[in-house]
Amino acid sequence: MKTQVCIIGGGPSGLMLSQLLHLKGIDTVVLEKHSREYVLGRIRAGVLEHGFAELMREAQCGERMDREGEIHDGFYIAHDGQLDRVDLKKYSGGSSVVVYGQTELTRDLYEARDRMQGKVIHNVEDVALHDIDGKAPYVTYRDGDEIVRIDCDYIIGADGFHGPSRKAIPRSVLKEHEKVYPFGWLGVLSRTKPVSPELIYAKHPRGFALCSLRSQVLSRYYIQVPLTDSVEDWPDAAFWAELKARLPQEVADRMETGPSIEKSIAPLRSFVAEPMRYGNLFLAGDAAHIVPPTGARGLNSAASDIYYLYHAMVDHYLNGDDTGLETYSQKALARVWKAQRFSWWMTMLMHSFPDAISYDQRLQQTDLDYLFSSDKALGSLAENYVGLPF
């Protein structure tokens, strides 16, 4: 098989790039390890920044997002028994975010790829990258007993944190920066009315909590839990009781509870791999960087990589200009690090750290006091949350 761009990974990054390139007449093949049902069964991000929503529209995949997604002009920070609102629109100079689940967005991208007869191959095994720093790169995968070879001009590693693409870059070239946090998030999806029309990020001595939503009848809640906990430690009743205990009383009192329809624990990690290009391989999204979910940056950081790669590929194939490809790593990393900084800051601000000394706790409190006493501090929070320009 032959293609111009071979994309490893059929998550949002890979599908979005494939769709955008297709619309410009650039041929791609997407290789996905899992079945479509499996990919669509993963409940992940919920908040899209303005630039991501624009990219969905450019990919001709924005129709359902515009119909069913909710525009949010603000969110709340709960602390010390009170709720303070962050007016995103006011403090960011007019921007907002779209609340639309990653599952729905991925479904829209798959449907668009189907409509245009895009090549998305599922259940591929043993994906391997070859000759990435040579003139004739290719990718192989196993389909039953057969080894299939795809010759291409470029390989995109959009295969998430555990995929093979990043690992194909020699250790002597790749620098990895990692910070792990001493807790995870336990997430629950339930068919209940959301407790608040806007998200609530709650700081509490018992630990962080987040009230989010997917629609007016579907709620998504998270609580900070120790890394040693497993889902079995959290039957529904225990989850709801702990969530309520971390929220201001008036919020807890109006919380509608019900059976969980999904429950999972995600450890928190900050991670960046540099460079994001090696030879003809370009890394994108979680393959190159991970953020703790506190600032809702994970999926949005993937989107900015795709934006840069899309324009770089279009310039290469349609205009004969390679500047975008040559500067991809540098440009993408500049924005990636800003998302890292913001996610780290919001994580440090909002969580309870098991080894925090009283000095750390007072600084955390002061950071919060400062935030709500300074329009400039709120401006910084808002411009990062709605997404820095690409």
How far CA 226 is from CA of 183, 266, 314, 352, 389, in Å, comes to 5, 11, 46, 10, 35
Quick one: which segment of 62-70, 113-121, 278-286, 290-298 binds ligand DHB (CB under 6 A)? 290-298
Q: Which of 7, 61, 120, 124 is the binder for ligand FAD (CB under 6 A)?
A: 124
Under the binding rule (CB under 6 A), the answer on residue 212 touching ligand DHB is yes
Provide the minimum distance between the beta carbon of 176 and ligand DHB in the complex, in angstroms, as a whole number.
23
Q: Determine if 45 is a binding residue for ligand DHB (CB under 6 A).
A: yes
Length of the chain: 390
Q: Is residue 46 at the binding interface for ligand DHB, with CB under 6 A as the rule?
A: yes
Report the distance separating Cα 290 and Cα 200, nearest Å.
23
Pair 188, 263: CB distance under 8 Å: yes
CB 140, CB 149: distance < 8 Å: yes
Find where tokens 């706790």 sit. 361
Which stretch in 43-51, 174-182, 234-242, 375-383 sits in contact with ligand DHB by CB under 6 A? Answer: 43-51
Contact 324, 315 (CB under 8 A): yes
Choose the one of ligand FAD, ligand DHB, none that binds residue 86, judging by a C-beta under 5 to 8 angstroms depending on kind: none
220 binds, among ligand DHB, ligand FAD, none (CB under 5 to 8 A by kind): ligand DHB
Within 10 angstroms of residue 189's Cβ, the number of other Cβ atoms is 20
Is 296 a binder of ligand DHB (CB under 6 A)? yes
- The amino acid sitting at 354 is P
* Using rule CB under 6 A, residue 44 touches ligand FAD: yes
Residue 107: C-alpha distances to residues 38, 46, 104, 245, 354 (Å):
12, 14, 5, 35, 39
The footprint of ligand DHB on residues 75-114 (CB under 6 A) is: none
On whether the CB atoms of residues 239 and 260 are closer than 8 A, the answer is yes
Segment interacting with ligand FAD, rule: CB under 6 A, options 21-29, 33-41, 108-116, 168-176: 33-41
293 makes contact with ligand FAD (CB under 6 A): yes
Q: Applying CB under 6 A, which residues contact ligand DHB?
A: 45-47, 199, 212, 220, 293-294, 296
Q: Applying CB under 6 A, which residues contact ligand FAD?
A: 8-14, 31-34, 39, 44-45, 102, 124, 127, 158-160, 162-164, 266, 285-286, 293, 296-299, 302
